[in-house]
Amino acid sequence: MKDTNASRTRTFSPGRDEQDTLKETAGEKSLLRSVHEARNEAYFKAIDSLGRYKFEMFGYWASAWVKYNQLLKGTGYGQPNPFRQFVHLARSKS
């Protein structure tokens, strides 16, 4: 009986494997950079919204910042929450 999976297997030379790994790493770096930029944008939009008394939009952008930070947590780019002081201040006043 003929092995039908034999035609589907691919063989790579060591150089090809290294190139594939570099491409994946470059793609991952590009994705991390995009998430990092989105997190920075969310921070500035949150602060801007707070300064304009747009409290709902502040909440939206602050939660977006938290979500982007969660995505970056295991990559070494995670940061402590910059809105933590706002939360402590709000809890102390209520």
- Average pLDDT on 35-49 reads 96
Higher pLDDT, 54 or 7: 54
Residue 83: CB atoms within 10 A of its CB come to 19
Predicted local distance difference test score (pLDDT) of residue 61: 97
Q: What does pTM read for this prediction?
A: 0.70
Residue carrying the six token digits 């150089």: 15
- Express each pLDDT in 7-36 by its tens digit: 555 554 455 555 555 555 888 889 999 999
Q: Do residues 69 and 81 make contact, with C-beta atoms less than 8 angstroms apart?
A: yes
* Domain regions of the chain by residue span: 13-93
Residue 58 has pLDDT above 90, yes or no: yes
